[in-house]
Amino acid sequence: MDYSQMCPKFEQAIDILGKRWTGLIIRVLLDGPKRFKDIKAQIPDMSDRILTERMKELEQQNIVTREVFPEKPVRIEYSLSEKGIALQPVIESIQSWGESWT
C-alpha cells in the first residue's frame, strides 16, 4: 500500500489525538464536565500552561465546550461536545490495547 497519499482526515485526526496529554484530557472528560482544577488534579504531571493550550486547541476543534456560569466567583466547566463524546470508543480501544500490549 502506498502511504505517500495518506488520507488527510486520518492525518488530521492523528495530529489532534497524538499530542501529548490530549488523550488523557479527553479520557478525564468522558466522566463528565470538569473544572480546570479538577482536570489538573487528575493529570498532575501536566503543567497549567500545557493544559490551557490543550483546552484551547480542543475547543477550536469543537471537541470540548467551555461553559461559564455567572456566579461569584465565576465558575467555568469544560465538557465534551458531541464530537468529543464520539471519541469514547477510540479512547476505550487505546486503553484496551495499552492494557494488553504495554
- Evaluate whether residue 15 is within a structural domain: yes
Q: Is residue 3 part of a domain?
A: no
Q: Is residue 36 part of a domain?
A: yes
Give Rg (Cα) of the chain.
Answer: 15
Q: Are 76 and 69 in contact (CB under 8 A)?
A: yes
Please report whether residue 79 resides in a domain.
Answer: yes
4 located within any domain: no
Amino acid symbol at 101? W
Q: Is residue 30 part of a domain?
A: yes
- Residue 5 neighbours by CB under 8 Å, 6+ apart: none
In a domain, 1, yes or no: no
| H/E element, 86 | none
In this structure, is residue 34 part of a structural domain? yes
pTM for this structure? Answer: 0.89
Range of the domain at 16: 9-100
pLDDT confidence of residue 83: 97
Q: What is the DSSP letter of 8?
A: H
The answer on pLDDT for 3 being more than 70 is no
pLDDT exceeds cutoff 70 at 2: no
**What digits encode the pLDDT tens for the residues 39-93?**
999 999 999 999 999 999 999 999 999 999 999 999 999 999 999 999 999 999 9
Give the phi and the psi of residue 61 in degrees, each rounded to 5: -85, 0
Close Cβ partners of 52 (under 8 Å, ≥ 6 residues apart)? none
Looking up residue 41, the CATH number of its domain turns out to be: 1.10.10.10
Query: Please, are residues 63 and 83 in contact by the beta-carbon 8 Å criterion?
Result: yes
